[in-house]
Amino acid sequence: MSEFWQGTLEKVDDWRYRIPVTYKAGMKVPGILYADETLLKDIVRDKAPEQVANVACLPGIVRHSLAMPDIHWGYGFCIGGVAATDPEAGGVISPGGVGYDINCGVRLMRSEITLAEIKRRIEPLMNRLFTGIPAGVGSKGDIRLSAREERRLFVEGARWAVNKGFGSGEDLECTEAGGALDDADPSQASDRAYERGARQAGTLGSGNHFLEVQVVDEIYDEDIAREFRIFKDQVTVMIHSGSRGFGYQVCDDYVKSMVRAMAKYNIQLSDKQLACAPIKSPEGAAYLGAMRCAANYAWANRQCLMHRTREAFEAVLGASWQSLGLLLVYDVAHNIAKFETYTVDGRRKKLCVHRKGATRAFGPGNPELPARFQRTGQPVIIPGDMGSHSFLLAGTVKAETETFGSTCHGAGRVLSRSASIRACRGRHIDRELLETKGIIVRATGRSTLAEEAPEAYKDVINVVNVVHNAGISKRIARMRPLGVVKG
């Protein structure tokens, strides 16, 4: 068998490629890949386009099955996959279209601190962040929740954290969905999920999760950057985490139940990892209720992590977080299913939009955005690997018409975790990053650093250039890392 994907790709333009409906029996819509010729070489080697074609077979799928330029192989859906299904046309909800880390997402904090002001304090700051924020596999924090308090968190999301003193009301305004999805149903989460969630609020986790102190080194759009309160040589902080063991357990529970639901509703798909149920079914409603709990858990988690980050800055710099200007720019989900309204065949329809390793990118004037982003569009946050740049972009109206308001979510892997570990055997990634780039890395174990080595990822600059040139998000600023905390 060839190591490359052998399917049919039709070039639409310099930034898009189409998988025609004739490629595979059962495809209801074409697949669309956002990529350039350079990125395409890695994409076909990964064979993730086959997953794009598989998703195109889902009942009730609308318009096309999408993949962003950070596409790589995932569970059911590719990472970087987007699909919308119509509940009124038998549309389904698929846990594989959301992922195991429900609402894995990222938030960006800005500050009034400049690089010159923090340069000599970056090492003690990273040490304080590393000791003050629980990280690593199975890490537990000091926020202990009773089952009753967990249920409140599942319903209220980031608002729960703010009410507990972990932040301010302004943080909620700068969080997607205000930091909570409506209609979360705590009764649909299993006892095991409750058990796993009880001690993990306010913890970073492991794998590709991180906390990164950065500096803005490039401004592409001065006007919008000013609106986002971003300036050259400014210190920023990026936090990437999700719903921890609670979200994993929710996905695991419902993947199994969805296999039975497919038999019940006579849904036949070539990939069982796409197990699904009609949105308008008891099984679909149950998953949505539990998934929303996990999404809200993740927003509360990132809110608590931001509070701990503010505390570390206060301790090291000797000033309040308010006087340091440590404000939230925005928080976006990467793994989620949400109901949003789009025009399809000339009609406005409420669709279930699956984003699996993809970022919402609403443009100027979208009624779901708060007043402060009506002129600019939604801030879009795209992290790179721990040795490269990250980006701040803005959503566009074109994204709403072409991609169900979606764009990429990061660099995207080119090496699996096991392959990256093999390639890095005997190396000290933290030492390399310090010696070659001056980046201070703190991690709980060497294996995580090997899994997340820079060469395991695509060039984030190429990925961002594709979505910018395709018009589905707009470059605003670029940040480079100063220090990184990994699980």
3-class DSSP state for residue 12? strand
Distance between CA atoms of 407 and 388, rounded to whole angstroms?
20
Distance between CA atoms of 479 and 487, rounded to whole angstroms?
21
Extract the tokens encoding 203.
Answer: 């913890």
Token pair 């025609």 is at which residue? Answer: 20
Does residue 131 fall inside a structural domain? yes
Does residue 60 fall inside a structural domain? yes
Distance between CA atoms of 22 and 253, rounded to whole angstroms?
35
Q: How is residue 186 annotated by DSSP?
A: G
- pLDDT tier at 3 (50, 70, 90 boundaries)? confident
Does residue 94 fall inside a structural domain? no
| Tally of domains in the chain | 1
Q: Do residues 241 and 204 make contact, with C-beta atoms less than 8 angstroms apart?
A: yes
Identify the CATH number of the domain in which residue 206 sits.
3.90.1860.10
**Rounded mean pLDDT, 5-14:** 94
Does residue 407 fall inside a structural domain? yes
Does residue 192 fall inside a structural domain? yes
Neighbours of 330 (CB within 10 A): 21
170-205 b/e (C-beta count within 10 Å ≥ 16 → b): ebbebbbbbbbbeebbbebbeeebbebbbbbbbbbb
Extract the tokens encoding 166.
Answer: 């972990």
Does residue 96 fall inside a structural domain? no
**Rounded mean pLDDT, 85-107:** 98
Does residue 389 fall inside a structural domain? yes
- pLDDT tier at 1 (50, 70, 90 boundaries)? very low
CA-only gyration radius of the chain, Å: 21
Task: Collect all residues with Cβ–Cβ distance below 8 Å to 18 and sequence separation of at least 6.
Answer: 9, 10, 11, 12, 30, 31, 32, 33
Q: Note the pLDDT of residue 2.
A: 52
- pLDDT tier at 463 (50, 70, 90 boundaries)? very high
Widest distance between CA atoms in the chain = 64
Q: What is the pLDDT of residues 198-254, one digit of tens each?
A: 989 999 988 889 999 999 999 999 999 999 999 999 999 999 999 999 999 999 999
Catalytic pick among 72, 354, 389, 409: 409
Does residue 1 fall inside a structural domain? no
Q: Note the pLDDT of residue 421.
A: 86
The reply to whether 209 belongs to the active site is no
Which residue type, as a one-letter code, is found at position 448? Answer: T
The total number of residues shown for the chain amounts to: 487
**Rounded mean pLDDT, 76-86:** 97
> What sign for the dihedral angle of Cα 375, 379, 380, 386?
positive
3-class DSSP state for residue 159? helix
Q: What is the pLDDT of residues 365-418, one digit of tens each?
A: 999 999 999 999 999 999 999 999 999 999 999 999 999 999 999 999 888 888
Q: Residue 24: which domain range?
A: 10-87+102-243+257-486
pTM of the model: 0.96
Calculate the alpha carbon distances from 56 to 67, 83, 128, 278 in Å: 11, 8, 47, 16
Q: What is the pLDDT of residues 250-265, one digit of tens each?
A: 999 999 899 999 999 9
Q: Phi then psi for 56, rounded to 5 degrees?
A: -65, -10
Q: Do residues 315 and 131 make contact, with C-beta atoms less than 8 angstroms apart?
A: no
